[in-house]
Structure 1
Amino acid sequence: MTLWTAAKAAEATGGHATTDWQVNGVSIDTRTLQPGDLFVALKAARDGHDFVAQALEKGAGAALVSHVPEDVAKDAPLLIVDDVQAGLEALGQAARARTNARVVGVTGSVGKTSTKEMLATILESQGKTHASVASYNNHWGVPLTLARMPQDTAFSVIEIGMNHPGEIGPLARQTCPDVALVTTVAAVHLEAFESVAGIALEKAAIIEGLKDGGTAIVNADIDHTEILNQCAKDRGVRIVDFGRKASDYTLTHVTQSPESVHANAMVNGKPITFDVQSAGTHFAMNALGAMAACVALGVGLDRAINGLRHWSPVKGRGVREKIALATGGQIELLDDSYNANPTSMAAALDVLAASQGARRIAFLGDMKELGAQEQAMHAAMADIEAMARVDQVHCIGPLMQALHTALPQEKRGLWFETSAEMATHLPELIRQDDTVLAKGSLSMALALIVDGLRKMGQGGALDG
């Protein structure tokens, strides 16, 4: 199916098409580009114009550029604009404007991607659904996701993130969601904000982008709920809350097993139960918010509950697997290696603490962007309730040295500055029947620990 013609793309961006081309996808990376894609020559770590010729050789249907690169023929299929980033944003906004899709925008300090995936899983059973890939939630990820949206999409799920003040508002206005969901507000990116209240104000900016008559889905359990509610009131949109303190979608009880959670809730006075196919009470909260968003989009609550059963965590975000050891027996791996902050770290440790392994072992890496209190926040992890049920903690990174020092001697494992150094010691640290958590900020490369644990296995992961 044709996604963009030269004429429509030129109209959307105000650019000049060199030939009469058409494309069926949009890409910013020649490594993943598919034949027929529009290659967008963004300037990031490197200038995308340096890769236009390669993209065309790989079968790109056209390229979005600000000038004709020296190694590209002047009659090549191009869309020439003044600024490529602005051109991509214009393309995304045109895609949003031409579709009748019901759109939900998702933001929050923790749980954005998992909640986005829950929403996509539920909505896919209700109609053609388009969602953000991976964590494409920044200044280029959001317009790219929008630009990729087919005109006949029924539902769209757009993840919106931030690192600094002033980022969410413009992305929310581009997205123009029918429903805006804020999963939570927590101490993340504090090096760029003076307080958690400042983070709440930034997250509330997603509500400013709502369509007239839209719905704001707000976590009632956070300290700064009123900031979100006030933004929704100022915007004149409907407010629906969720959480243990909520009046609309009230979580009343969660039963956690090693591989799932069973939850009870009250929805507008009606008792419901639902299951999430992953351990962790935080997933029950995310699921409740996702169901509230789906209902606001017009999906029946019963259908949302049924659709949720098909969701499972994505790689690096709470995936649980059993690995048969080459030396005999097996271990259970909790792969939560994609990112970390104090809230998500505590949630992951809670899952580990509830596991049934002979020993509960954690490999924890630095939590980044926490500002002036970063050392204290790392050390404070030693005092959280779940830590009492963890047998040994191995720490990775300069900041995690604070936790290593704060841990009682019997829990204190090894400390190394890098995951690569720690990975070489895995065989001496792991025994059969252990349950092992890997958690840290992405730059700490806890994926090396995950890969090292898998390499200790024979024949790959077991079902379970």
Structure 2
Amino acid sequence: MLWRASEAAAATGGAVASDWVASGVSIDTRSLEPGDLFVALTAARDGHDFVVQALAQGAAAALVSHIPQGVHNPEKLLIVDDVQRGLEALGQAGRTRFRGRVVAVTGSVGKTSTKEMLRTVLGAQGTVHAAEKSYNNHWGVPLTLARMPRDADFAVIEIGMNHPGEIAPLARMARPHVAMVTIVAPAHLAAFESLEGIAREKASIFEGLEPGGVAIYNGDLAVSDILRETACRHAARLRSFGEAVGNHHRVTDVRVQDNCTVVQGRAWRTPLVYKVMVPGRHFAVNGMGVLAVVSALKLDRALALTALGQWQAGAGRGLRERIQLDRVDERLSLELIDDAYNSNPASLGAALEVLAAAQTRDGLGRHEKGRRIAYLGDMKELGQGEVEMHEALADTRFMARIDIVHCVGPLMRHLWQKLPLEKRGHWTETSDKMAERVAHDLDAGDVVLAKGSLSMGLGRVVDAIRKMRQAPADVDG
């Protein structure tokens, strides 16, 4: 049981006509489970149009602002003045009754992967509630809070933003005991005047801290002072992490290997060694931030280090997978790095470092040597300097080890034009056009990276690469 009708009505100020019980909360009939409370949000479509379908699929009830047409069992409705505000009130009530400890995470890069690291690490020491996707906006945060089990030990809440003034209200709703900022980077610059403006918005997560709360922030940044100053006003304790001397939790050595990252560091005066099962310096540094959260919560560090070594990146966020190209010969395969969920200069630089460190295999395919190949889509919302930021990628130190770069979108065309001819692959306006070519462009032994802003749809290129996979033959048959 997650919500009784009487509890949900008291939380939202809504009206109910029967004593239903909900075991979950859903906003989408495609993923709705029997027993869920369906929330009829209005976004691209009006959720009220799907209430009849939700109830037919077994929803316990529906949160609505009016009785939708075709509903013949209004006793299964929770009627409120405004559905969005009703969801927020339900989330606040879920947070109020929660007795575990809450961690909130934001950042320009790495907030979702850090949330997943925390899910793994905290899960070794108790039960953890966290959203299964990047539910970090004005409806995602209250939805995550409304879904919080009463008896979980920990909750991890991801908080994002697109415009000024979005993070602080969500942080006050989440009321974290520990709040963490992963990094501040040029992202959403179209909505902010400067990197300093982004830093002030990210730092506003500390405004939601509970009394006695701990602020954890990246101390390596040009804008770290802004994070620290805001944290000082709202937190009882501060912990910085990063690679620079002076950080409380400090990474001292990073070895990005082909399939993992090995890290040495110090938690104040205590030496640490750990690894994460995915290549990437950014994962190493954010892992140190996760260990700072563990310290703030006074949990077992040894258990945390062991659990951190078991974490792997998810689909679209650096997931590594082997694509077998021949049904019989397992050697004939390529490696895919799926980082297609989002992109900005900081995260793309980190992804190029991973690709540059990847080990190719020679003598397997049409080409004598395996190649490092990148499919890069536009980085969006960068503001006035967007062209220069795309061009600058040609001069990054990791580009020297990358063999071919294929580019998607009008902004990435500026990079494509600046690349030396021997590295310049194809340029297309859309991911659909690029996806048509991948089977001809890739070969056994290659390592392939796909990365771009979500709206560029690089996931379609990833899907096309996955479709090259051949199921192993049944040799016994």
TM-score relative to the length of structure 1: 0.97
Q: What is the alpha-carbon distance in structure 2 between the residues aligned to residue 18 and residue 365 of structure 1?
A: 51
Aligned to 1:168: 167
Counterpart-to-counterpart distance in 1, 2:99 and 2:4: 19
Instruction: Say whether residues 1:406 and 2:406 are aligned partners.
Output: no
Structure 1 contact 359–435 (Cα < 8 Å) conserved: yes
**Paired position in structure 1 for 2:469:** 457
1:365 aligns with 2:368: no
1:265 aligns with 2:277: no
Secondary structure at the residue paired with 2:74?
Answer: coil
C-alpha separation in 2, matches of 1:323 and 1:234: 51
Identity, % of aligned positions = 56
Q: How far does residue 18 in structure 1 lie from its aligned partner after superposition? A: 2.0
Does the residue aligned with 1:191 lie in a helix, a strand or coil? helix
Look up the SS of the partner of 2:99 in the other structure: coil
Q: Which residue does 1:394 correspond to in 2?
A: 406
User: Partner residue of 1:13?
Assistant: 12
1:419 aligns with 2:461: no
Structure 2 match to 1:275:
275
Aligned pairs, how many?
A: 460
In the alignment, the residues of structure 2 paired with residue 322 and residue 134 of structure 1 have an alpha-carbon distance, to the nearest angstrom, of 24
Deviation track 1:26-48 (CA, whole Å, cap 9, x = no partner) reads 00001100000000000100111
Which residue pairs with 1:303 in the alignment? 303
Counterpart Cα distance in 2 of 1:300 and 1:216: 19
> Where does residue 32 of structure 2 map in the other structure?
33
Q: Following the alignment from structure 2 to structure 1, what is the Cα–Cα distance between the partners of residues 204 and 219?
A: 17
The aligned counterpart of 2:365 is none
Cα shift at 1:101: 1.1
Deviations 1:224-280 (CA, angstroms, capped at 9, x unpaired): 011111111112421001011243101000112100011000111111100100001
Once the two structures are overlaid, the 10-residue window that deviates more, 164-173 or 366-375, is 366-375
Separation in structure 2 between the aligned mates of residue 376 and residue 439 of structure 1, nearest angstrom: 18
Say whether 1:436 aligns with 2:448.
yes
Task: Check whether the contact 2:322–2:336 (CA below 8 A) recurs between aligned residues.
Answer: yes
The CA distance in 2 between the partners of 1:356 and 1:304, in whole Å, is: 29
Matches within 5 A, 1:302-341: 302-326=302-326, 329-341=332-344
- For 2:314 and 2:268, locate their aligned partners in 1 and report how far apart those are by CA, in whole Å: 31
Deviation at residue 326 of structure 1 after TM alignment: 3.4
Q: Is the 8 A contact 1:105 1:158 kept in 2?
A: yes
Segments of 5+ residues of structure 2 without an aligned counterpart are 361-369, 473-477
CA distance in 2, matches of 1:168, 1:454: 37
Supply the distance in 1 between the matched residues of 2:145 and 2:233 (Cα, whole angstroms): 27
Alpha-carbon distance between aligned partners in 1 of 2:184 and 2:120, rounded to the nearest angstrom? 24
Provide, for residues 285-312 of structure 1, a one-character-per-residue CA deviation record: whole Å limited to 9, x for no partner.
1111111112212212112111112211
Deviates more, 1:445-454 or 1:327-336: 327-336
| TM-superposition CA deviations, 1:50-78 (whole Å, max 9, x none) | 11111000000000011111211263311
SS in 2 for 1:188: coil
Q: AA paired with 1:139?
A: H
Contact 1:142 1:159 in 2 (8 A): yes
Q: Report if aligned partners of 1:19, 1:75 keep a CA contact under 8 Å in 2.
A: no
Alpha-carbon distance change, 457 to 236 in structure 1, aligned in 2, over 3 angstroms: closer
Native 8 Å contact 2:8 2:90 kept in 1: yes
* CA deviation after TM superposition for structure 1 residue 200, in Å: 0.2
Deviations for 1:90-112, whole angstroms, at most 9, x for unmatched residues?
10011101111100000000000
The one-letter amino acid of 1:436's match is V
CA contact (8 A) 1:107 1:160 kept: yes
Q: Paired residue for 2:137?
A: 138
Q: Structure 2 counterpart of 1:237, which letter?
A: A
- 1:250 is paired with a residue whose SS is strand
Letter in 2 for 1:398: P
Contact 1:64 1:78 in 2 (8 A): yes
Q: CA deviation at 1:24?
A: 0.5
Amino acid at match of 2:124: S
- Tell me, yes or no, if the aligned pair for 2:206 and 2:235 is still in contact at 8 Å: no
Q: List aligned pairs for 1:162-311, cutoff 5 A.
A: 162-245=161-244, 246-311=246-311
- Give the match's secondary structure for 2:190: coil
User: Do 2:394 and 2:418's aligned partners in 1 also have CA atoms closer than 8 Å?
Assistant: yes
Q: After the TM superposition, which parts of structure 1 deviate over 3 Å for at least 4 consecutive aligned residues? A: none
Shift of 1:316: 0.8
Read off the aligned partner of 1:215 and give its amino acid letter: V
Instruction: Extract unaligned runs of 5+ from structure 1.
Output: none
Per-residue CA distance 1:146-170 (angstroms, 9 max, x = gap): 0000111110000000000000000
CA contact (8 A) 1:326 1:456 kept: no
Contact 1:364 1:394 in 2 (8 A): yes
**What is the deviation of 1:128?**
1.4
Residues 196-227 of structure 1: CA deviation (Å, up to 9, x unaligned):
10000000010000001000001010110111
- The amino acid across from 2:172 in the alignment is R
Partner AA of 1:297 in structure 2: L
Q: Given the alignment of the two structures, is residue 104 of structure 1 paired with residue 116 of structure 2, yes or no?
A: no
